[in-house]
Amino acid sequence: MKKTNQDQVKLKDGIKDDVKQQLLQMKQNLAAETKKREEQKRQDLLRQQKEKEKNKSFLELLDESHLDWRKYKS
């Protein structure tokens, strides 16, 4: 009692063309919105990192520095 490929009705066959086009358009819109959201999140993260770097104190910058003051001491 296996059905052949011809006997099986697929969902895409039963959907009207206009509905199919609407679904494809919605899929494209969602993909574009997701990409836009991810880009915005990335931009926000970069802006936060720059702000954090800008607001560091002298002590924090000195601690992060890899320079050894002993090399430059006369």
Full-model pTM? 0.54
pLDDT at 65: 82
Tens digit of pLDDT for each residue in 5-19? 555 667 666 778 888
User: What is the average pLDDT value for the chain, to the nearest integer?
Assistant: 84
Predicted pLDDT of residue 5: 59
Where are the chain's structural domains?
15-64
Q: What is the DSSP string of 5-66?
A: TTTPPPHHHHS-HHHHHHHHHHHHHHHHHHHHHHHHHHHHHHHHHHHHHHT--HHHHHHH--
Residue that the structure tokens 């490929």 belong to: 5
Lowest mean pLDDT among 5-9, 24-28, 35-39, 60-64: 5-9
DSSP 8-state code for residue 74: -
